[in-house]
Amino acid sequence: MDIQAILEFLFPPQCGACDAVGSGFCTSCAGRSVRCARRLPTLDVEALGPYDGALRASILALKSGRRDVARALALYLEAIVPPNAIVVPVPTTAARRRQRGFDGCVLIANCVAACGDAAVLDGLEQVAGDAQRGRKREARIAAHGRFRWRAQAMSGETVVLLDDVATTGATLEDCAAAIRGAGGCVDRAVVVALA
């Protein structure tokens, strides 16, 4: 028996939205979400649903440190990640990683890869600015150059960005620019929710 199974036996996962025991995001709450999409200037973004209700509660639980929620959300995201995709998670700030003990998007991406046939390429890093959370719309849209590609240069690989929430889309566009600058191709993103 692995350590994760022992932990789940001792501390069973609870839905991040309704507290039902058994999963970090239960099928009942997931069933209330309606997939949605948005076109950004250079990206098509697909989401499990709008940023409200059960999805909002689950994302907030994830941001509060609930790893079980990340694993559960990944099961649903796996259905909208293209087969054999190379998934690039949008990194959080170093301060948030220290506070939570993990990067939620990286954890979700790794879980998506584990339950499907995707691969994870964790090559982005945030180099400037604070988190977008709490900023006004104009400040979010104006934020550019906050990410860089820290991994090996790419040679035309097509990747899919993964994030928890997309509001204005500025973060996704900024990450896409960094990937394109490193020689990669990206025209799609998947997110848990669209605000």
CA 91 to each of CA 18, 35, 45, 135, 174: distance values in angstroms, whole numbers, following the listed order: 27, 23, 17, 18, 12
CATH number, domain 34-194, options 3.40.50, 2.60.40, 2.40.128, 3.90.550: 3.40.50
Predicted model pTM: 0.86
Which residues, 6+ apart, have CB-to-CB distance to 45 below 8 Å?
37, 38, 39, 166, 169, 172, 188, 189, 190, 191, 194
Each residue's pLDDT tens digit, 94-109: 888 888 888 999 999 9
For the chain, domain boundaries: 34-194
Please, which residues bridge with residue 21 across strands? Answer: 14
For residue 190, report the phi and psi dihedrals to the nearest 5 degrees: -120, 140
Each residue's pLDDT tens digit, 33-78: 899 999 999 999 999 999 999 999 999 999 998 999 999 999 999 9
Q: How far apart are CA 171 and CA 190, in angstroms?
A: 13
Predicted confidence (pLDDT) at residue 131 exceeds the cutoff of 80: no
User: For strand 119-120 and strand 185-194, is the pairing parallel, antiparallel, or unpaired?
Assistant: unpaired
